[in-house]
Structure formats: C-alpha cells, structure tokens
Amino acid sequence: MDKTSDAANKLIDRRIVLKAGAAFAAAGPVLLRGGRAEAQAPANRASAQFAYVGAFTTPERHGHGGGINVYRVDPASGAWTHEQLLEVVNPSFLTLDRAQRFLYSVHADLDEVSAYAIDKQNGHITPLNRQSCGGKNAVHLSIDPTGRWIITANYSAGSVGVVPIEKDGTLGPRADLVNLPGEPGPNRKDQASSHPHDAVFDPSGRFIAVPDKGLDRIFVFRLDAATGKLTANDPPFVTARAGAGPRHIAFHRDMPLAYVINELGSSVATYRFDAQRGSLDTIQILPSIPSSYTGENTGAEIGVAPSGRFVYASNRGHDSVAVFAVDRHAGTLTPVGWALTDAKSPRFFGLDPAGKILYAANADEGAGGRGQQNTDTIVAFKVNQADGVLTPSGRAIKVNSPCTIVFAGT
C-alpha cells in the first residue's frame, strides 16, 4: 500500500475510535450481543425513517464533507433533522442489509469496505470493522440475495471484489477478485484502462451486471453463494457504443429490461435482458440531455421508479435530472422533461421509500454547471405519480459534498 493510502487508513482508524466513543456516550448504555456492541436508545424514542448520507472528504475529490451523516426524516413534513456525523474518509457509496441492521460503505481512493451497526431507535451508527476489497477506489457495492456477500466495483484497479458478511454483520477477508479484460475505449483521458463503476444484481439475484466506463462494456457475472466465487457469464459482456463510457445500470422490476446511463456519451441505453441466459441486447439509445443544450456534460446516476412507469437519469454539466416515460409494451423510453437542480454536479439521486420524493445530491466535484446557490445540498423534488414530472419542493438540505444516500426505517 502506498504512503497516501497508509496515511488515509490511519486517519480512518483515529476518527473511527474517537467518533465511536462519542456515539456510545450519546446513545447511553451498551450491550454486547453476538460479539458486537449495540447501543440502547432511550425507550421514548419511537422508530422513524432515517437517511444516511455519504460525503467526499478529501481535496483530491474536491471534498469538504465530514463523512457519514445521519438524518431523521419526518415522513409527514419531509423535514430532515441531523442526528449524527461519523468522520470517515470518502464514504462514496452506501448500502444496507435487508433487515436494515447494518450499513456498509466503500471509500473513494482507498481499497476498503467498512461495516457499521445501526441503532434503529435513533439511527446512529457504530463502526464494526473494515476489510480490503482488493482494488483501489471502490465506487459501488451491492449485497447478494442471501445477505452473505458484498460485491464491489473497484474503479481504479479495474476489478470486481467479493467480501463476506459474517453473522454479526462484520466483514470477513476477501473471498474473490476478478480483473476485467478488454481494450480501452477511444477517450484517452477517461478510458485509459478498465473502470468498473457499478455492480448490480438483476431482480432474480442470479446475475451481476458491471458497467465498465473504461472498456465500453457491461460485464455479467454469476456468484456462487456457497463459496463467494465469481464466474463470467456466457456471454460474458455486451459492448456499448465506442466512447459511451457506461457508468450505472438499473433493472426494471417486472419487465425484462435494463437501463444504462452512459457517462461520456451523455446517453441512456435500453437493453432487453434475458433472465435465463443473463444476456443484454441493446434496443434503444437516447440522449440524456435536451437537444438545445450545447455545453459540456457527463451522465451520472440512473433509476427506475417503483411503479416501473418512469426512468430518471442525472446530468453533470446540464445539472439536471431527466425524466423518461417507459413504454409498457416495447420497454423503450420517451423523454418527458428535465428538472434543473440549480446546483453543480448531481452525482447521485435517490427516491424516498414511498417513491414520492426524489433527492438529488449535488456534490460539486469541481465540475462546471449552471448554478451554484444549492451546491453542497440535497435538493428535494416532488414526484408526480401520473406523469413522472419532478417539481421542486423548495426544500434543500445543506450537506457538504454529498455523494450517496440510503434510507432506512418505517
């Protein structure tokens, strides 16, 4: 490990120890259950909905966030109340286990996955442990349907890692690591080598799709749930347009479809997904930005509404969230409109559990954009359930360098 990574790891260790002590002190009495510490919340605190927000923290990421922020979300008013800040380096993507007992994070520019226990009464998190994911700059992680394995997309290393989850929520030593093969795309700056940016299970949980921005490929793997070993699917990948730079993928919940946001091509590709073979076939490619926009842009996030009727995609440069309607027969998309975020670089967005509010996280990242007044914010949009249109709610949560959000609770 290089000196920079070693220094970052020491910083994580020091901050975790300091903040863990503060978290325990604030939460009250502590019990040991199954070999891990659990903070007992006051009995009068009812269960609620919580939002966990990861933020970039280092100058290399143009980050000035604190780490992982915990917010209590009022389901009626939509108001966010800050509950906790746990200072860790660049928690760039977060995910929860199915029971919402544990939170897991990867860390930009490091080669680690970290685990945290969740107090369901106050939402606070307590650090458990960390493990290597086998490759620097892990940018995404997913948990398999059995809840036993974490899959990471290691961007800078061009690899996919598998890390086991123990029964107490802690992480075990890495179980597998696969390097992604292929020829780099034509963009010499952003496609010099393999850059996997996502690792997502299909709805059946049988296949893992890994968009590779550097190789213009979307790889597909199978996971052996008994051993944690990855096997390349047959066919092992689908090729995107040269220079497209596929970044993130979202599967339709009840139709055999997948949608990919192409970062470098500023486009959204629709794929027919064969759930038996694990194959992807392109059926449509649309721009993710309006034809009237002539500035620089890169695509970032993509998601399918819980209803399955709409697809959303974010743009950095145009600084917007695009809305597409899904043709329920063909599966193809039709542009509905673009909601401007009034801020730089909506790297991430996520829908609340009810699918009624879309939250755009504006991390800046040093990118140019239309407006700056809401940069370092999470901007909330109301979702029209009939036509998918996003309307500003007037609510913007101030968070420095937010880059990922997950929701937990009722």
CA distance 341 to 336: 16
Measured over the CA atoms of residue 399, residue 405, residue 407 and residue 408, the dihedral's sign is negative
Whether residue 127 is preceded by a cis peptide bond, meaning omega within 30 degrees of 0, is no
What's residue 60's pLDDT? Answer: 87
Q: Which residues of the chain have pLDDT under 70?
A: 1-47, 364-374, 410
In sequence order, the 6+-apart residues with CB closer than 8 A to the CB of 255 are 308, 326, 328, 331
Task: State residue 364's pLDDT score.
Answer: 64
Contact 97, 169 (CB under 8 A): yes
pLDDT at 44: 36
Q: What is the residue-wise DSSP string for 316-367?
A: ETTTEEEEEEEPTTT--EEEEEEEE-SSS-EEEEEE-TTSSEEEEEE--TT-
In this prediction, residue 307 carries a pLDDT of: 95
Bridge-partner residues for 286, per DSSP? 268
Beginning with the edge strand found earlier in the chain, give each strand of the sheet holding 267-274 in spatial order. Answer: 246-251, 257-262, 267-274, 279-287
Cα 246 from Cα 313, distance rounded (Å) = 13
- Tell me if residue 27 falls in helix, strand or coil: helix
Q: Which of 222, 260, 205, 263 is nearest to 238 (CA)?
A: 260
> Pick from 405, 399, 410: which is nearest to 103 by CA?
405
**Contact (Cβ atoms closer than 8 angstroms) between residue 139 and residue 132:** no
Angstrom distance (rounded) from CA 53 to CA 42: 24
pTM of the model as a whole: 0.87
Q: Give the pLDDT of residue 368.
A: 41
Residue of 335, 299, 302, 305 lying closest to 319 (CA atoms): 299
Residue 43 DSSP class? T
Gyration radius of the chain's alpha carbons: 20
| pLDDT at res. 243 | 98
Ranges of H-type helices in 196-236: none
pLDDT at 24: 31
Give how far Cα 19 sits from Cα of 22, 24, 51, 109, 112, Å: 5, 9, 19, 22, 19
CB neighbour burial string for 34-53, b if at least 16 within 10 angstroms, e if fewer: eebbbbebeeeeeebbbbbb
Cβ atoms of 311 and 250 closer than 8 Å: yes
The single residue listed with the structure tokens 């690792």 is 199
| Model pLDDT for residues 340-362, shown as the tens digit of each residue | 998 888 999 999 998 999 999 99
Query: Which pair of tokens denotes residue 115?
Result: 């685990």
pLDDT at 323: 98
Element (H, E) at 271: strand 267-274
Q: Starting at the edge strand that comes first in sequence, how are the strands of the sheet with 390-398 ordered?
A: 346-351, 357-362, 377-383, 390-398
- pLDDT of 343: 84
Helix, strand, coil % in the chain, rounded to nearest 5: 5, 50, 45
Q: Phi and psi dihedrals of 62, rounded to 5?
A: 55, 30
Distance from C-alpha of 181 to C-alpha of 325, rounded to nearest angstrom: 35
Q: How far is Cα 83 from Cα 122, in angstroms, rounded to an integer?
A: 8
